[in-house]
């Protein structure tokens, strides 16, 4: 009791955030019931008909649903892997740049694309990657590499999606690793130098092991996105020629559910994604705890 009397201002400070969380995150959860209803907005929750698992059945009865889920999975996993590996490597390399000004300028330059929206970037990429006089293909053409259909061939489309996402986001993700690098105790390096370790050995035995826990945390958090392949990016870049390799759950929900106002179906798909994500987060959190001794709770 004395504890509470001493700390009540702190609890009070948490209150607004807690209210916010309840009002905007917990109360709307009642809306997942829509996934089991033939939801008609004008009838509301009380009068819309219950249809059980029909929406989920419809999701899996579509001839292309397995393909769409696989596309989502492949694109999302590639993004997670490269979004982890590239910033990790880049942070280590950038850390070796000793000139402060250069170091800072590069850091600023590479994270700028993060602030562009995919609507704008999509338009730019369509022009840059065009087979018909696009900048990238013209440069490749001068080396004798013949126009590559980046956006019109399914396999190239996936490469384009992952590469452009990594290009856009790696600078921003690098910041986390740079922060971790700054947190490494300098005495470790001093000791290594005294022992005669080379620059490479210092990286190999001090820098990388110190970054691994952070990498595991970032990886764990991103596993929740395993079924998010990036709606706004793909929606702005895809076309009917790459449907077989590039159509993902979110674009397909957009076309069927949002365009036609089928809210129940959209909710069902959302719920399906959330359940998968939650299972993955629980598993990966356990793994992170085991291997990196990382815990939130």
Partner 1 sequence: MKAHTRKGWMLALTFALVATFASACSSNNGNKNAASPSASAPASASASESGTEESTSPYKEKYDPPVEISTVWGVDPALKFKNGETIENNVSTKWALDTLGIKINSLWSVTDTNNAFVTKMRLSMSSGQKMPDTVTIGDAQLAQDLIDTGMFQDVGELFDKYANDTWKKAMELDPGVWNPYMRDGKKMGIPVLDYAYNHDYLLWIRQDWLDKLNLEGPKTLADLEKIMDAFKNQNPDGLKPDKVVPLSIGFKTTMNTWMGDPSWIFGAYGTVPGQWNVAADGSLEWGSINPASKQALETIKLWRDKGYIPAEAALWDENKTSEPAVAGTAGIIPGPYWMSGWPLLDTAKNVPTAVWKPYAIPTGPDGKAGRHGTNFTSGVTLINKDMKNPEALFTYQNYLFEHLADPAKGSQWDLGVFKGYDYDLDASGNPVYLDKIPGGEVNINRYWLVKDGARIPDAQMKSLLALADGKEPETRLEKEVKNNYGPETPAAAKVLLSQPGISISDMFTGPSTPTMSSKQDYLKKIELQAYNEIIYGKKGVDEFDKFVANWKSSGGDQITKEVNDWYATTK
Query: By the criterion CB under 8 A, which residues form the site for partner 1?
Result: 9-10, 12-13, 15-16, 19-20, 40-42, 44, 58, 62-64, 126, 130-133, 151-152, 239-241, 243-244, 247, 252, 255-256, 259-263
Provide φ and ψ at 156, rounded to 5°. Answer: -65, -35
Least Å distance, CB 145 to partner 1, is 17
Q: Nearer Cβ to partner 1, position 199 or 255?
A: 255
Q: Which of 246, 101, 236 is nearest to 168 (CA)?
A: 236
Q: Nearer Cβ to partner 1, position 129 or 180?
A: 129
Tokens 């922060």, located at residue: 179
Provide φ and ψ at 97, rounded to 5°. Answer: -75, 110
Q: Which helix (H) or strand (E) holds 116?
A: none
For residue 56, count other CB atoms closer than 10 A to its CB.
16
Least Å distance, CB 256 to partner 1, is 4
Q: Nearer Cβ to partner 1, position 58 or 276?
A: 58
Q: Nearer Cβ to partner 1, position 2 or 9?
A: 9
User: Going by C-beta distance under 8 Å and a sequence separation of 6 or more, which residues neighbour residue 182?
Assistant: none
Q: Rounded to whole angstroms, how far apart are CA atoms 182 and 203?
A: 14
Q: Rounded to whole angstroms, how far apart are CA atoms 216 and 284?
A: 9
Least Å distance, CB 209 to partner 1, is 39
Bridge-based pairing of strands 49-50 and 37-38 is antiparallel
Q: Nearer Cβ to partner 1, position 84 or 253?
A: 253
Least Å distance, CB 231 to partner 1, is 15
Q: Nearer Cβ to partner 1, position 58 or 192?
A: 58
Q: Rounded to whole angstroms, how far apart are CA atoms 83 and 71?
A: 18
Least Å distance, CB 121 to partner 1, is 16
Least Å distance, CB 200 to partner 1, is 47
């Amino acid at each position: 009791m004395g504890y509470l009397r001493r700390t009540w201002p702190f609890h009070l400070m948490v209150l607004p955030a807690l209210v916010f969380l309840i009002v905007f995150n917990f109360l709307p959860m009642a809306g997942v019931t829509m996934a089991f209803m033939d939801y008609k907005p004008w009838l509301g929750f009380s009068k819309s008909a219950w249809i059980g698992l029909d929406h989920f059945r419809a999701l899996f009865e579509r001839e292309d649903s397995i393909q769409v889920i696989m596309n989502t999975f492949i694109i999302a996993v590639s993004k997670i892997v490269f979004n982890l590996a590239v910033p990790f490597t880049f942070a280590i390399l950038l850390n070796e740049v000793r000139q402060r000004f250069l170091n800072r300028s590069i850091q600023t330059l590479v994270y700028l694309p993060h602030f562009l929206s995919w609507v704008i970037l999509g338009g730019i990429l369509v022009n840059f990657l065009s087979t018909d006089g696009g900048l990238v293909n013209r440069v490749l053409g001068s080396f004798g590499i013949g126009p590559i259909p980046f956006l019109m061939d399914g396999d190239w489309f996936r490469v384009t999606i992952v590469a452009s996402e990594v290009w856009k986001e790696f600078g921003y993700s690098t910041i986390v690793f740079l922060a971790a690098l700054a947190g490494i105790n300098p005495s470790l390096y001093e000791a290594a130098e005294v022992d005669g370790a080379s620059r490479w050995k210092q990286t190999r035995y001090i820098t990388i092991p110190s970054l691994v826990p952070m990498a595991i945390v970032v990886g764990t958090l991103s596993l929740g996105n395993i079924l998010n392949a990036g709606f706004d990016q793909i929606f702005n870049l895809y076309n009917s020629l790459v449907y077989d390799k590039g159509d993902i759950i979110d674009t397909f929900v957009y076309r069927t559910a949002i365009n036609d106002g089928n809210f129940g179906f959209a909710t069902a798909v959302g719920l399906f994604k959330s359940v998968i994500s939650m299972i993955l987060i629980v598993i990966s959190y356990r793994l992170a705890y085991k291997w990196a001794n990382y815990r939130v709770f």
